[in-house]
Each structure stands twice: as C-alpha cells, then as structure tokens.
Amino acid sequence: MGRKDASMSRTPVDQYRKQIGKQDYKKTRPMLRATRLKAEAKKTALGVKEVALVLAAILVFLLAFYAFFYLNVSNEVDLDLDPDEN
C-alpha cells in the first residue's frame, strides 16, 4: 500500500520527465553527445544584443572623443583670431 501512495504523489511534471528520460535512453550515444554539444554552444554563443551593445558603446566613445577635440580646436581658433590684425 505504501508503494501505491508513493506513485500517486508524483506530479505530472515528474511523470513527463520520466517519460522523456525513457525516450532519451533509446537514443544512441553520438546523438546524445551531439545534442549536448549543441546546447552548450548555444549557451556560450554571443547574442545579437551583446554585440550591438558593444558596438554602440564603442561608437559613443568615439563620438565623445571626436567632439572633445573638435570643441577644443574650434575654441583655440576663435581665440587666436584677432580682427585687428588684418
């Protein structure tokens, strides 16, 4: 009677996992290895979001760098020009 109660307490999720486990057991080792490698590659691969964020950060840095020097050069030119010289 204890066994019957123990098997009844399984959730549908546990039953589903057990069924999937039985199906995976039927697969060959190379197939399982390929599936595992594919999942690991997917986890470690860079996403489009990460690449876009890095490119945007580099672009913002370059624009700030350019703007800083542009403003410094334009201020120096304005200070050096003397209207009375000509």
pLDDT of 1 reads 47
Cβ proximity of 67 and 75 under 8 Å: no
Sign of the C-alpha dihedral computed for residues 57, 59, 65 and 70 taken in this order = negative
Domain range list for the chain: 11-45, 47-81
pLDDT score for 59:
98
> Over its length of 86 residues, how does the chain's per-residue pLDDT go in tens digits?
455 555 566 788 888 888 887 776 666 778 888 888 888 888 777 787 888 899 999 999 999 999 998 888 776 555 555 555 55
Tokens of 24: 């995976």
Quick check: pTM over 0.75?
no
Q: What is the pLDDT of residue 7?
A: 55
